[in-house]
């Protein structure tokens, strides 16, 4: 770890001010940033710790949607009675990220800002068509937010404040874990809304989380696992590494999608 200055703003306004230093880094749950710092792979001038900002924490219901503060930890989402009642698939997803230590530190905002291609949350945000609210006062649709591996629509110093999740009729997330890291080797979030189905795939693509239009179309017509017979994802652009070839990941997306549809009921 290199030396850095440490700031712990008590309000979003102070945080926005602190983030004006272009070499500042925001610290949310620290589940990616802290290991990166320890390995000397990042050298921010200032670490802006967001953990003291009450206004970006917590879960509430807003206009029929579930609004989750960016600073809310995975364990809080998993344990929330509102989330469990309205979007059980989201509670389930949060309950299966990493291990208890990760879930009690990691935050929704941190995960989305980092946009790791193997993270779980991006699948839920994209699969549910959520809206990402930011410190710049922007409301960014999920379809516009994710812009590639570790790339997002966030501007310089812009912080996520909360995410609004629409409530689907039914939804499920199925994750095939990478055997070592237990990140998603391929995870699929399926959500059925009135008149439309959204399918988001994480872990598989070199471009990060993505929607699978052919699967959405098939499931919109007939929301059953069998509707996906003959719907196959191409291997082009999928990640190939020690744990899976592009073909394997593409195949897993199909298997996980079918299982998610079945689990959604």
Residue 92 CB, shortest distance to other proteins, in Å, is 17
Query: If binding is defined by CB under 8 A, does position 255 make contact with other proteins?
Result: yes
Give the binding range for other proteins (CB under 8 A) out of 81-89, 152-160, 175-183, 217-225. 175-183
Query: If binding is defined by CB under 8 A, does position 248 make contact with other proteins?
Result: yes
**The two three-digit tokens of residue 260, written as one number:** 């998610």
Query: If binding is defined by CB under 8 A, does position 181 make contact with other proteins?
Result: yes
Residue 202 CB, shortest distance to other proteins, in Å, is 16
Residues in contact with other proteins, total (CB under 8 A)?
15
Residue 90 CB, shortest distance to other proteins, in Å, is 23
Query: If binding is defined by CB under 8 A, does position 45 make contact with other proteins?
Result: no
Residue 213 CB, shortest distance to other proteins, in Å, is 23
Cβ count near 242 (within 10 Å): 7
Query: If binding is defined by CB under 8 A, does position 251 make contact with other proteins?
Result: yes
- For residues 105 and 31, is the Cβ–Cβ distance under 8 A? yes
User: Is the backbone of residue 33 left (phi > 0), alpha (psi -120 to 50) or beta?
Assistant: alpha
Query: If binding is defined by CB under 8 A, does position 34 make contact with other proteins?
Result: no
Binding site for other proteins (CB under 8 A): 1, 39-40, 176, 179-181, 242-245, 248, 251-252, 255
């Amino acid at each position: 770890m290199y030396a850095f200055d440490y700031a712990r703003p008590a309000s979003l306004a102070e945080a926005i001010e602190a983030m004006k230093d272009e070499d500042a880094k925001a610290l949310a749950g620290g589940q990616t940033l802290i290991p990166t710092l320890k390995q000397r792979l990042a050298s921010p001038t200032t670490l802006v710790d967001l953990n003291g900002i009450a206004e970006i924490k917590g879960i509430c219901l807003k206009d029929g949607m579930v609004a989750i503060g960016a600073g809310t930890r995975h364990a809080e989402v998993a344990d929330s009675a509102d989330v469990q009642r309205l979007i059980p698939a989201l509670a389930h997803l949060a309950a299966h990220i990493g291990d208890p230590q990760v879930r009690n530190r990691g935050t929704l905002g941190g995960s989305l800002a980092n946009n790791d291609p193997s993270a779980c949350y991006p699948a839920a945000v994209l699969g549910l068509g959520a809206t990402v609210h930011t410190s710049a006062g922007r409301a960014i649709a999920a379809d516009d937010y994710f812009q590639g591996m570790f790339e997002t629509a966030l501007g310089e110093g812009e912080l996520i404040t909360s995410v609004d999740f629409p409530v689907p009729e039914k939804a499920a997330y199925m994750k095939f874990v990478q055997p070592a890291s237990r990140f998603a080797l391929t995870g699929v979030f399926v959500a059925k809304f009135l008149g439309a189905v959204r399918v988001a795939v994480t872990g598989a693509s070199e471009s990060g989380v993505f929607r699978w239009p052919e699967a959405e179309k098939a499931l919109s017509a007939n929301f059953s696992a069998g509707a996906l017979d003959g719907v196959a994802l191409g291997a082009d652009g999928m990640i190939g590494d020690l744990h899976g070839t592009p073909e394997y990941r593409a195949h897993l997306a199909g298997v996980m999608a079918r299982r998610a549809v079945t689990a959604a009921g």
